[in-house]
A and B are shown apart, each in its own frame.
Chain A
Amino acid sequence: MEAVLTQSSKQGDAGEARGRPDAASAKDEYRQLCASEPGIPIFSTDWWLDATAGVDGWDVALVRTNGRIIGAMPFHTARRFGMTVVQLPPLTPALGPWIRSNGDKTSTRLGHEQKVMQALIEQLPRFDHFRQTWNKDLSNWLPFYWNGFDQSTEYTYVIPALHDLDAVWNGFDAARRKHCRKGAERHQLRVRDDLSVDDFLVLHRMTLASRGVPQAFTDDCLRRLDAACAQRQRRKIQIVVDEHGRACAGTYTVWDGGCAYALIKGSDPEMGNTGAPSFCQWEAIRFSATMAPRYDFVGNMNPSIEPYVRSFGAEQTPLMTITKTPSRLLRLRQGLKSALGATAPSRFAEPEPRP
């Protein structure tokens, strides 16, 4: 690993040893990388993290060889009850290490990945608790295992081949297709894309209220993110209105070159029987097909999600959640768990969808 420049080699003191000037330059370098490297997932980009974690709320571990960045791992650090917790920022379903592909044969590539991951781990700051859900294209956590992290598999749901929309439509359950058609025809539903994030928030709050679920992000956080995405043309707000112009359901979609994501949804429970949520979902998928090859429902392990997304023909797709609670804190583990909520949702709480 000599070729790989790491500013500090011992885990734990890396945060301090790195020092502010280097840390600042690492982040600046990462900003440049994000601007030039389309393979970095949208949730890992500097501007996304600025909006969701705050400009000072995130940092990044970098691994370079010959002055070129070959690995990067952004992370968001929060203080909770006097402890340092590395976790996902609000509105951010996944992060994880990015490793520049070296195009070698399998065994060499894996060995390379593992070396880079090891160097990234060594650069993580000292923390009391670490929890990150990784984006779905990452499937190897071995170096984290060797460094005392734990892993568990969760699932999201993905429509894989958006280029063939007829096949996507035919992959829906018959009942779901009927819902979509019924909505469009009987209630003269139409989709608007000229409404604001605040119009969308009204619908989202209705959903939360009807389920008794608290909002997992502040309005300002979503507004900041919305401005950042809008500026880069990386989001679409679609709101379905009925024949009277009343808003029934909305989807908030973001995308990068690899995938579109159903980041947030909302609907007016009173308009649920119009088929508007299904129609809106279909419209979001149709739009996403013009932007990305895949559509990710950003599902979680909630049992009610699976039948809903299944009806859209989405495929169960594994994601890894990586955790570590260093020993100093293990004595307080149970207390921490209950303090953070026993289930410690790895991704922001999306309300349960209604069939």
Chain B
Amino acid sequence: MSIRLPDRELKKGSAELLVLSLVEDRARHGYEISKLIESRSEGMLKFNVASLYPLVYRLESRGWIQGKWVEKAGQRRRRYYRITAQGRKVLAAQRQGWKQFAEAVRRIAGVDYA
């Protein structure tokens, strides 16, 4: 499965931002996160099991998100991740950084991003 991205580094740098944004409003499990990234980017960005979990676990060990096993009636046991207070701060900072970066790229390269 190829990664159709302009730059591997770009994906790496943005991955944290993506995951944090997705668990910002509600808790989600790992598969849900990967599906949302794929669907919302219309297939541009894809995470598989091998690329997602090291990232999720890293965010968790930094204390930015927190995972919890949840058993719902009629469903299997899944691990849900929610953002922590510290994670919110990081997310805000990263959003700001990306905005500035994108703005800078637009000014220089004349690329309109939205």
Q: Do A and B bind each other?
A: no
List residues of chain B with CB under 8 Å of any chain A CB. none
